[in-house]
Amino acid sequence: MDYQRIATASRLANIEAFHVMELAKQAADLERAGRHIIHMGIGEPDFTAAAPVVHAAEAAMRRGVTQYTGALGIHALREAIAGYYKTAYGLDIPERRVIVTAGASGALLLACAVLVEIGAEVLMPDPSYPCNRHFVAAFDGRARMIPSGPAERFQLTAAQVVANWGPDTRGVLLASPSNPTGTSILHSELKAILAEVRERRGFAILDEIYQGLSYDAPPVSALALDDNVVTVNSFSKYFNMTGWRLGWLVVPDALVPAFEKVAQNLFICASAVAQHAAVACFSPEALAIYDERKAEFHRRRDAILPALEALGLRVPVKPDGAFYVYADCRHVNHPAAGDADKLSQAILHDAGVVMVPGTDFGPHTARDYLRISYATSMANIEEAMDRMHHFLR
């Protein structure tokens, strides 16, 4: 039977497939065929929700708190998040500026819905997390990817903001620490960036979901530098709750009504059970667990960096946060050296290890780099490095 083809929206042309997920599908096929695959592709902690959080979720369900909440989130969680900024960063953030969201993705969608005009240009570094530019495209804006290499720590700089700000530019979207590179924006550079954006009356959206996983220096939230920034955070990474789909925003006072209106219409609210459970994330017992897990991620980073260098996978900028290494693959002993797509396919099929090509993260580093996640056990990391040694030998 012939069916009429339904036309899709033209904006889909600006949204590309997510290659990370395509590799994950191939890996799943190999596993179903009996292969043992080590996953160093998707950025998901191998740790799951801490016991106090699980107990809080069970208690919430027994109490029957499973109905809609307010669009901004439950009072207890917003209050706990505001308190966390005081203890972790020394910042006095009023609860009214905290908006609980359906994950960091929901937070970024809300931010783009409120701030991105049709045709607006948003500056971000290349490489960047791919969904960020697609959130902009979803609201008919345009992400302008600025090539940012090792000299810039793979981050946008104030000088680049000045050089690339044009008549259609409305703001910047940054991440610190970054996915895919694990690098942070230096405090002085971030301060300069925000000053340039403020001078141009633009907006700044800062993805801070990996700030809890900062290893070499205390993290600095953009909120300490400018009250007008919009920051995004999440319970997925540091709090190990990826599938709970819970995050938050901190927004300027004047923008709270706009964010609330959009949240009411797009999401109604974040998961009620997840919200009640997440209050327990900020208990002393849970925070002690997260500190131990952070120390383990730190240990893994310090183990994998020299192992990758020994394989010829050079790391030009030491990652200081998150759980990623962005490694230059042009110098490995393999015919596909310098072609990250082909090399990642060979590593998957011949070595049984998932590593992600730079393709997703922007054209500037697409062919030259692999993103490697160490959000897996030390035993898996050691086995993966051994397989890589034999694969490249």
- Of 249, 282, 315, the residue at which a domain comes to its end is 282
Does 5 fall in a domain? no
Q: Is residue 108 part of a domain?
A: yes
Q: Count of domains in the chain?
A: 2
Looking at residue 15, its pLDDT comes to 74
Same domain (yes/no): 153, 122: yes
Note whether 277 and 312 are same-domain residues: no
Q: Within a domain: residue 4?
A: no
Residue 237 lies in a domain: yes
Same domain assignment for residues 290 and 278: no
Within-domain flag for 34: yes
The answer, yes or no, to whether the previous bond of 52 is cis (omega within 30 of 0) is: no
277 and 310, same structural domain? no
By CB neighbour count within 10 A (0-12 exposed, 13-18 middle, 19+ buried), where does 46 fall? Answer: middle
Task: Tell me the three state secondary structure of residue 326.
Answer: strand
User: Do 43 and 55 belong to one domain?
Assistant: no
Q: Mark which of 282, 317, 335 sits at the end of a domain.
A: 282
In this structure, are 98 and 131 located in the same domain?
yes
Closest C-alpha among 208, 162, 201, 161 to residue 184: 208
Q: What is the pLDDT of residue 1?
A: 52
* Look-up of token digits 């004047």: 254
Examine the domain organization and report whether 127 and 90 are in the same domain: yes
Q: Which residue segment(s) compose the domain that 312 sits in?
A: 10-48+286-392
In this structure, are 81 and 38 located in the same domain?
no
27 is a domain residue: yes
Residues 382 and 275 in one domain: no
Q: Are residues 177 and 318 in the same domain?
A: no
| CATH number, domain containing residue 44 | 3.90.1150.10
- Per-residue model confidence (pLDDT) at position 14: 77
- Same domain for 153 and 43, yes or no, is no
pTM: 0.94
Tokens of 319: 């990652």
CATH number at 101 reads 3.40.640.10
The answer to whether position 253 is within a domain reads yes
Q: Is 245 inside any structural domain?
A: yes
Q: Which of 234, 263, 282 is the last residue of a domain?
A: 282
Are 79 and 208 contained in the same domain?
Answer: yes
Q: Compute mean pLDDT per 10 residues along the chain, 393 residues long, and list them.
A: 73 77 90 96 93 98 96 98 96 98 97 97 97 94 97 98 98 98 97 98 98 94 96 98 97 98 96 98 98 98 98 97 97 93 96 95 94 97 97 90
Question: Residues with Cβ < 8 Å from 147, sequence gap 6 or more?
Answer: 126, 362, 364
Sign of CA dihedral 136, 141, 147, 148: negative
